């Protein structure tokens, strides 16, 4: 189905969902969902590392991607994780040596960790799976630093990618992290002189680069992001700082105080999010979003779907226990929940189905097939796909 849509729309101009009509149930499948290039590349390199080093210990700095099924498979093949996604150590650094293989995940890593591995004699580039779009953000941050801009990073402060981007950015530029628009507006108050320098160091503790001076370093800014954040939110934050600079310095001087960084937004994240907006135009009864519960990009798809539909965030088909019970994750509350009678009793049920960029397509297949079990008299999958 994905290949059919790709060939039919090579320029990616049609973001409407694919409609699969099985008779008593109809699915709206997002135009773009599942693995992006960066994730596919990272997984391919990881399996290659295992195959090429049968007699060596193979480590991952942390989870390859935020999908438990993929990570479990890698661990089952012998890969060990050095730390968790928050940076807590599982394996001490002094147990890692030059003869070991260390894979850098798609999120990238900090300059400090890369230097530590190099000092140990570990070859870090051979199996470095850092996503090209993450590296693009790093390169843009470096350029901003050279042009004397402070880098504002829109991201989740504890997320591996944000930690890596902050580390790279801080090498050559004053840098500060904002999680959301609330953080951005607070930072705007410091730009406008509405809050004191002392308050800044308390409010943005450990979220700014060493030696940061809010009076000096917030005169020229550029916004980059953790690539899995909502693109619309990143743009809204950049637009907000644009207005702040107009208020402080005037529209005629705007170019001297804010950089245009729209080119750093990840196309895959944008495509998945744009496809989700199109799902909101349907008249579905509920939505199912498949992905890892700690996946940032998946959580944003859930957030969008929740604007219109009852939405169930699951990590696999095993969470669908029966036609009357689904186990799912409440992302905001960070807890599991059980919902009964989630399938409405009606002649034709319409379901939105999509997934995050770290979710294998096979999981989406399994979820759809599991849901089809609850609808007697459905048309065969082969016939529905052939009718596309």
105 within 8 A of 159, measured Cβ to Cβ: no
Indicate the DSSP class of residue 255.
G
Structure tokens at 159: 């997320």
Assign 202 to helix, strand or coil: helix
Output b/e per residue, 359-370; b: 16+ Cβ within 10 A.
Answer: bbeebbebbbeb
Q: Identify any residues that bridge with 311 across adjacent strands, giving them in sequence order.
A: 287
> Angle 112-115-117 (CA atoms, 0-180°, nearest 5)?
110
| Cβ neighbours, 10 Å, residue 126 | 15
* Catalytic hit among 26, 114, 161, 319: 161
- Give CA–CA dist 258/57, Å, rounded: 47
54 within 8 A of 279, measured Cβ to Cβ: no
42 within 8 A of 128, measured Cβ to Cβ: no
Indicate the DSSP class of residue 17.
P
- Give CA–CA dist 176/166, Å, rounded: 8
Q: How far is CA 194 from CA 19, 79, 152, 216, 284, in A?
A: 52, 51, 19, 15, 46
Residue 335, judged by CB atoms within 10 A of its CB (0-12, 13-18, 19+), counts as exposed
Pairing of the two strands 150-154 and 175-178: parallel
Residue 324, judged by CB atoms within 10 A of its CB (0-12, 13-18, 19+), counts as exposed
Helices (H), 85-206: 111-119, 132-146, 160-169, 181-191, 197-203
- Is 161 a residue of the active site? yes
| Cβ neighbours, 10 Å, residue 85 | 17
Structure tokens at 254: 């705007």
Active site residues: 161
């Amino acid at each position: 189905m994905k290949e059919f849509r790709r060939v039919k729309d090579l320029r990616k101009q049609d973001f409407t969902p694919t409609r699969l009509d099985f008779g008593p149930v109809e699915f709206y499948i997002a135009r773009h969902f599942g693995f992006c290039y960066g994730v596919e590349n990272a997984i391919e390199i990881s399996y290659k590392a295992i195959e090429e080093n049968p007699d060596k210990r193979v480590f991952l700095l942390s989870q390859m991607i935020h999908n438990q099924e993929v990570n479990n498979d890698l661990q089952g093949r012998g890969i060990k994780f050095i730390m968790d996604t928050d940076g807590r150590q599982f394996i001490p650094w002094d147990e890692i040596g030059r003869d070991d293989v260390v894979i850098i995940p798609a999120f990238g890593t900090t300059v400090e960790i890369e230097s530590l591995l190099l000092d140990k004699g570990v070859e870090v580039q051979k199996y470095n799976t850092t996503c090209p779009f993450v590296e693009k953000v790093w390169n843009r941050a470096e350029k901003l630093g050279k042009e004397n801009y402070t880098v504002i990073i829109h991201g989740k402060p504890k997320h591996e990618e944000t930690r890596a981007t902050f580390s790279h950015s801080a090498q050559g530029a004053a840098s500060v992290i904002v999680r959301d628009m609330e953080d951005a507006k607070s930072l705007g108050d410091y730009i406008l002189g509405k809050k004191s320098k002392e308050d800044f160091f308390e409010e943005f503790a450990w979220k700014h680069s060493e030696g940061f001076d809010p009076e000096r370093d917030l005169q020229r800014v550029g916004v980059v992001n953790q690539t899995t954040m909502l693109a619309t939110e990143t743009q809204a934050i950049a637009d907000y700082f644009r207005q702040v600079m107009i208020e402080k310095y005037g529209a005629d001087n705007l170019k001297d105080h804010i950089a245009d960084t729209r080119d750093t937004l990840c196309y895959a994240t944008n495509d998945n999010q744009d496809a989700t907006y199109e799902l909101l135009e349907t008249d579905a009864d509920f939505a199912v979003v498949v992905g890892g519960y700690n996946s940032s990009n998946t959580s944003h798809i859930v957030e969008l779907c929740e604007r219109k539909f009852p939405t169930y965030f699951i990590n696999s088909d095993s969470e669908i226990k029966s036609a009357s019970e689904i186990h799912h994750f409440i992302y905001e509350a960070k807890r599991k929940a059980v919902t009964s009678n989630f399938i409405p009793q009606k002649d034709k049920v319409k379901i939105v189905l999509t997934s995050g960029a770290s979710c294998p397509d096979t999981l989406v297949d399994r979820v759809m097939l599991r849901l089809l079990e609850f609808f007697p008299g459905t048309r065969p999958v082969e016939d529905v796909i052939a009718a596309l």
